DNA sequence: CTATCTTTGTGCACGCGTTCACAAAGACAT
DNA sequence: ATGTCTTTGTGAACGCGTGCACAAAGATAG
């Protein structure tokens, strides 16, 4: 039974803030584009606009990595690409395992941007025996029974969960038990992991709901101010699937 | 030429902080699960652990919505589900258009959690003429040429971009011109949008890179402290596709 | 060698978010 | 009616992240 520990563990390992780490990939992408255009140097102002951030923020971010700029000139593109890549750990190979080869899992396996920077889809795992052996994106799907061995054999430390929500926690536990210490979770579930395991979640539904909130705010400037002050009596928002009609209808406040 | 304005516009419309808005979907999900189990009330402590957050944080979040709890008892599940749904704008229907029906776009169209709460896939749009008319997830794909009309006819205000990165900005501009004011961007690009348009990005590559950073930190406690102090001379991280061999090799610091 | 000009690196202040800790409020038993 | 007990709601302190504004550094020209 996993105790609800979902904190990101030891984010601030030493120095370099989490917010900066989250922006480094943005900088790296912009720098790579410049590198492909053979641009030798770039100023903080140019790079900041390319990455969509403030220039002061960018300079402060880079200051955590070291003094890699030249005053009056800017930053050397190639050198900075290498430094950020090294800092992010992209100079080494990261075998990744995707668990749950449904629509989304298959799409991720086929996603080109996946393997772009050091990440390599090392294994596809699914619980459906009928899928075992089926090639997806040129890789044969393997069965969940062999999960432990697959993770070990390939030295996978990063797992991607694209299973239905009901199976996510179980898959997560098995991945962690097999040695995975970083998990990218696409299932709409709160995963409980032991200390030392990182979990990042990608949740379409949440993103849409946040957008809907702002959208409502934008549209609500004129109309839709109907019952703002007086909350409606209806304690049943819709026909919820309750076993009996025993819904509270307390209506506090 | 879009000026690089990627700030989230007017997040703090009135009251309710952005961080709280981002957590409301989590609470809603946990509450819905409780509702389906016909649990009448729940304490902040229980709900907090179910949602994977701190109980004090949850109470403060709810305090922004109003005083919906009963001291000594907790929160009424059904009532809270309705209040949060209303606050997030989930009581109304949100037609969504997905642009770019590749692997990812098709997966999203088939994604069940999409239509779960008020969101309805109203249109699928792709630039490939060969795809026009092809049904994906039971919806016929339409061509980009009709984008403007499709958005208008269906009253779409939320667009999802799953195109290749090169086409993302152009698609974004067209969506905005057609009246879309909220965009969920899966393309690895920094989108420039005018004031009043919300953009949220989902970037697998960035998530993986952040995980790799922490992974490297975890693994780097024992070994991998090789050349920390002395950065390598190699200014060319790999064989970059430069037109000529004119790479700077400046090596500052 | 000196002056000027550009751009970095950063000290500082401010605002947001998180967490603690506790008083107020209500349920429940007697 | 009174007391006890549970749980909410929130004031206050703290820490992190952001942005301003400027001094230091180095390039470049004369």
Please report, rounded to whole angstroms, the spatial distance between the CA atom of protein residue B180 and the C1' atom of nucleotide D24. 47
Enumerate the H helices of chain B as residue ranges: 18-36, 44-51, 55-65, 77-88, 103-110, 147-154, 165-178, 204-219
Residue B17 CA, distance from chain mean position: 18
**CA–CA dist B18, B192 (Å, integer):** 21
CB-CB contact of B56 with B43 (8 Å): no
For the segment 68-107 of chain A, residues whose CB is within 7 A of strand D: 70-73
Q: How far is the CA of B74 from the C1' of D1 (A)?
A: 26
Q: Strands B41-42 and B74-76: what pairing?
A: antiparallel
Do A113 and B188 make contact, defined as CB atoms within 8 angstroms?
yes
Spell out the per-residue pLDDT of chain B, length 253, in tens.
Answer: 333 333 333 333 358 999 999 999 999 999 999 999 999 999 999 999 999 999 999 999 999 999 899 999 999 999 999 999 999 999 999 999 999 999 999 999 998 777 767 899 999 999 999 999 999 999 999 999 999 999 999 999 999 999 999 999 999 999 999 999 999 999 999 999 999 999 999 999 999 999 999 999 998 765 544 444 344 433 333 333 333 323 333 333 2
| A161: region left, alpha or beta (phi > 0 left; psi from -120 to 50 alpha) | beta
Distance of alpha carbon B82 from alpha carbon B102, whole angstroms: 36
List C-alpha distances in Å: B16 to A224, B19, B63: 18, 9, 9
The shortest CB-CB distance from B188 to any of A29, A204, A206 is to A29
Shortest CA gap A239–chain B (Å) = 11
Residue A123: φ, ψ to 5°: -160, 145
Does the CB of B35 sit below 7 A from strand D? Answer: no
For residue A236, pLDDT beyond 50? no
Query: Which of B118, B198, B208 lies nearest to residue A214, judging by beta carbons?
Result: B198
Pairing label, strands B119-126, B139-143: parallel
Nucleotides in chain C with any atom closer than 7 Å to protein CB: 5-11, 16-21, 24-28
Is B158 within 8 Å of A208 when comparing Cβ atoms? yes
Using the structure block, give the residue that is written with the tokens 């049943």. Answer: A236
The nucleotide minimizing the C1' distance to residue B67's CA is D9
Q: What is the pTM of this model?
A: 0.86
Measured from Cα to the C1' atom, the residue closest to C19 is: B56
Place of tokens 């403060």: B60
What number of C-beta contacts closer than 8 Å exist between A and B?
Answer: 287
């Amino acid at each position: 039974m996993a105790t609800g520990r979902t904190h990101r563990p030891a984010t601030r390992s030493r120095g370099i803030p989490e917010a900066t780490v989250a922006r480094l990939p943005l900088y790296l992408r912009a720098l790579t584009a410049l590198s492909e255009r053979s641009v030798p140097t770039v100023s903080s102002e140019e790079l900041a606009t390319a990455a969509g951030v403030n220039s002061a923020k960018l300079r402060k971010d880079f200051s955590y990595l070291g003094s890699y700029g030249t005053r009056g000139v800017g930053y050397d593109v190639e050198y900075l690409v290498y430094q950020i890549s090294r800092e992010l750990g992209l100079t080494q190979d990261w075998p990744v395992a995707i668990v749950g080869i449904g629509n989304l899992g298959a799409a991720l396996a086929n996603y080109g941007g996946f393997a772009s920077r050091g990440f390599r889809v090392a294994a596809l795992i699914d619980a459906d025996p009928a899928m075992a052996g089926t090639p997806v994106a040129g890789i044969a799907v393997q069965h969940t029974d062999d999960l432990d061995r697959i993770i070990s054999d390939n030295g996978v430390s990063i797992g991607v969960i694209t299973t239905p929500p009901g199976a996510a926690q179980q898959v997560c536990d098995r991945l962690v038990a097999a040695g995975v210490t970083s998990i990218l979770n696409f299932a709409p579930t709160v995963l409980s992991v032991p200390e030392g395991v990182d979990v990042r979640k990608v949740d379409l539904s949440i993103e849409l709901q946040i957008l809907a909130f702002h959208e409502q705010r934008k549209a609500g400037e004129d109309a839709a101010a109907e019952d703002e002050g007086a909350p409606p009596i209806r304690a049943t928002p819709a026909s919820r699937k309750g076993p009996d009609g025993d819904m509270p209808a307390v209506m506090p406040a």
